[in-house]
Amino acid sequence: MLATIILTAETIGVIAFAVSGALLAVEKNFDIFGIMVLGLLTAFGGGVVRDLLLGLVPPVFFSSYTMAGLAVLASLAVFLLYRFGGDMRLLSGRDITAIVNFFDAIGLGIFAVTGVNMALEHGFADNPLLCITVGTLTGIGGGIIRDIMAGEVPSVLRKNVYALAAILGAACYYCLMILGIGILPSVLAAAGLTVALRLLATYFHWHLPRPRS
């Protein structure tokens, strides 16, 4: 049951992050190879960081052929839709940014949860700081790599409650699991919290305090 729920969540997260990476590559007018590379890096960047922190080498990505294939297919689908879909080509940069934010929020929420779960599975339940940090970095890692590769300032440094949403989601999942709440409600509650915070922050333009208003 646990393995099935986590696998399902990770599959959704990989596809969501791959789509967000591919869409940003489309906005930057990358070629088909660049689109697939950015999709892959976004989908697996956070997971690679997670595995290295937990001492899992080589990272799981290098043996996860099915997940890698899904990320490539999702990125290719974005390319084909934009290349041959008239409606997609009419999207403005602002429209693409909004779609990227939506898929990014889904990936952020799911990977914040699965990162904590991986830390728990490897015996770090008594170290909440490590578990929450691993969850947060799993969630934000792919987006950081995506933005840097696309020549953008990473979202985590400038966007509406980005890292904070991942931290709160990871902390929520850790607490629910330690309290013995069921795996499915824990995943839904923690991932849902992160996704909701990201989308609400985007819609209402919530920001953390800055030196200049």
Would residue 137 count as lying in a domain? yes
d(CA 193, CA 189) in angstroms, rounded, equals 6
Residue pLDDT, tens place only, 103-115: 999 999 999 999 9
Residue pLDDT, tens place only, 175-208: 999 999 989 999 999 999 999 999 999 888 888 8
Would residue 113 count as lying in a domain? yes
Residue with tokens 């699991």: 177
d(CA 191, CA 211) in angstroms, rounded, equals 31
pLDDT, averaged across the chain: 90
d(CA 72, CA 69) in angstroms, rounded, equals 5
Would residue 48 count as lying in a domain? yes
With H, G, I as helix, E, B as strand and everything else as coil, classify residue 210: coil
Q: Which residues contact 178 (CB under 8 A, 6 or more apart)?
A: 125
79 is in which domain, residue-wise?
A: 2-204
The model's pTM is: 0.91
Would residue 14 count as lying in a domain? yes
Would residue 122 count as lying in a domain? yes
Would residue 209 count as lying in a domain? no
Task: Count the Cβ atoms, other than its own, within 10 Å of residue 113.
Answer: 35
Q: What is the DSSP letter of 179?
A: T
- Specify the number of domains making up the chain: 1
C-alpha angle 143-94-135 in degrees, rounded to nearest 5:
20
Q: Which residues contact 157 (CB under 8 A, 6 or more apart)?
A: none
Cβ atoms of residues 15 and 99 within 8 Å: no
Would residue 213 count as lying in a domain? no
